[in-house]
Structure 1
């Protein structure tokens, strides 16, 4: 693996290419700074298994801002805390277990889900990642998240974890997947589906009944959100992933392989796919099915899904530490697998 490169090599001319754009307002939860302070504190308390260098890098990334920007209209700090925990702990665990095997990731996922469902009620005393997921459940109970919304949230979170396991197969063999496989896995590993479920915690959306939230039209909008976030993450992280072996789950790399084309041409194909998803999102927003008395609230909910996508992208573009040369955190987990 090539670990020492110049800034010129790192950016490889990609900075001049066009970037995603969203027609949604950008705002931030008023308690973002308080949430950052909690984040810094639990990194030092929970992540002592990480090197000091890794912990300090994570602090600079301000990963809880993903939640503060993605769901800026949550009414209380208590409601922000579970989503911020998922956003930060999810990203950090993905970094830490980057080189584990599929079977190792599946075992990790099973333990996390036992904690999130409450089947395992024992507070973990070991690895801080597991303890943070136990805390996440307690925080959801504390903020009185409706049980039906919580079940949707952790079901989608389980799909993220399964996606993490599935992509390890490609990471460990340094193999770029076919486009069809990439699209399936990336919908999960973008991490956006749990955010889509959590958007219903804002304003009065928790009043929306299940037959609205689970309507195929709404579910398609969730998929589009997940794909837009997955692609814009791939675009932002491309310089890093061009220079690290194993970083194969990137749409630009997938399209380059699929079409036997240059990186720049593949980049433009990826951006076109992203923009087509955005066009579909806007079309579906303007052509909602009949939801009777919920019609206006559903339209506003979909608008806040768009704000969520734009907010996650705003974190990417405002962060200047995670995807820069030397800014990312390398995996420190020692795998036992082959």
Structure 2
């Protein structure tokens, strides 16, 4: 199989998952909002990058993943979608110290500090979404969101950095551990609790069955992303954090063989997720909370798959739809 012949829809087609495929009715206004933020607030981006981000239609990812949110609820989720995607994209060529600064400063703002007027939209918007979440979510949820942001940045973006610098992937065994965090999904999974109105208490979140479900949810979305983002990453030539590339190196597979094996791993994790949820029904009065957490997370998995296939130019062949880091952007990233 030649790279240009690859079609991710052959592996993960529309409606692949056992959850509804829906879209938020506020999607068009969410798009207008995001385009305005890109044009007016994200001034550190180049004009070319702004055009690329608008064509990605990231607001549609928010709308497909969380179709039941009200407009008030969707706004900070949509704001975070842009903030976190831009942060992750644009630190690609940053130093470890710059990435650590971004993580430390954004986490501090999520936990209550105020950005200075001179700080850019990455900091201004994380303060705005923090206050928007606080308007309708309890403190325990906002703190968990801040903690998940910290965890995915610290153990996701930062731990992958040395491998990107060295241009070599980790072993398959280690990759499976690290990819759970560097797919950056933990904060997003909490948005299903906004939809359901049922917030998992601390002792339920810490339950080993729930922790395993969260791991599997993150991994399924990671493998899904690796399958759909492959055309962009094949063009780059230096991407190492993709399951298909890791399988090629670690198991000495062809591109086609690695794609088949990646789908098998994805399906195995999905099957385990569904199986443990079906079997373990010992959460007592919080069983509905857990059921709803998985249901709305599942809608998110189905929705982001639809986004990849129908809504975005982000992963076009050759990397033509991606907002690659720019030297001018890099110099202004931590300001």
What is the TM-score normalised by the length of structure 1? 0.90
Alignment partner, residue 4 of structure 1: none
| Number of residue equivalences | 325
2-structure distance, mates of 1:16, 1:127: 37
Alignment partner, residue 3 of structure 1: none
User: CA 1:175–1:124 in structure 2 vs 1: closer, same or farther (change >3 Å)?
Assistant: farther
2-structure distance, mates of 1:201, 1:178: 37
Name the SS of the counterpart of 2:306 in structure 1: helix
1:124, distance to aligned residue in structure 2 (A)? 4.2
1-structure distance, mates of 2:4, 2:81: 26
1:280, distance to aligned residue in structure 2 (A)? 0.7
Alignment of 1:43-54 (within 5 A): 43-54=38-49
Asked if residue 103 in structure 1 is aligned to residue 97 in structure 2, the reply is yes
User: CA 1:175–1:232 in structure 2 vs 1: closer, same or farther (change >3 Å)?
Assistant: same
1:210, distance to aligned residue in structure 2 (A)? 2.8
Alignment of 1:19-168 (within 5 A): 19=12, 21-74=16-69, 76-118=70-112, 120-142=113-135, 144-162=136-154, 163-168=156-161
Asked if residue 285 in structure 1 is aligned to residue 277 in structure 2, the reply is yes
Asked if residue 197 in structure 1 is aligned to residue 159 in structure 2, the reply is no
2-structure distance, mates of 1:103, 1:35: 34
2:66 touches 2:300 (CA, 8 Å); kept in 1?
Answer: yes
The higher-RCO structure (CA 8 Å, 6+ apart) is: 2
- RMSD between superposed Cα atoms in Å: 2.1
1:123, distance to aligned residue in structure 2 (A)? 4.3
Alignment partner, residue 244 of structure 2: 252
2-structure distance, mates of 1:298, 1:131: 33
What is the TM-score normalised by the length of structure 2? 0.90
2:58 touches 2:312 (CA, 8 Å); kept in 1?
Answer: no
Asked if residue 303 in structure 1 is aligned to residue 298 in structure 2, the reply is no
User: CA 1:276–1:124 in structure 2 vs 1: closer, same or farther (change >3 Å)?
Assistant: farther
2:130 touches 2:142 (CA, 8 Å); kept in 1?
Answer: no
Provide structure 2 residue ranges, at least 5 long, that are not aligned to the other structure. none
Provide structure 1 residue ranges, at least 5 long, that are not aligned to the other structure. 1-7
Give the ranges of 4+ consecutive aligned residues of structure 1 lying more than 4 Å apart after TM superposition.
14-17
Moved more, 52-61 or 162-171: 162-171
Within the candidate set 201, 217, 220, 1:228 is matched to 220
User: CA 1:204–1:50 in structure 2 vs 1: closer, same or farther (change >3 Å)?
Assistant: closer
1-structure distance, mates of 2:244, 2:306: 21
1-structure distance, mates of 2:8, 2:330: 34
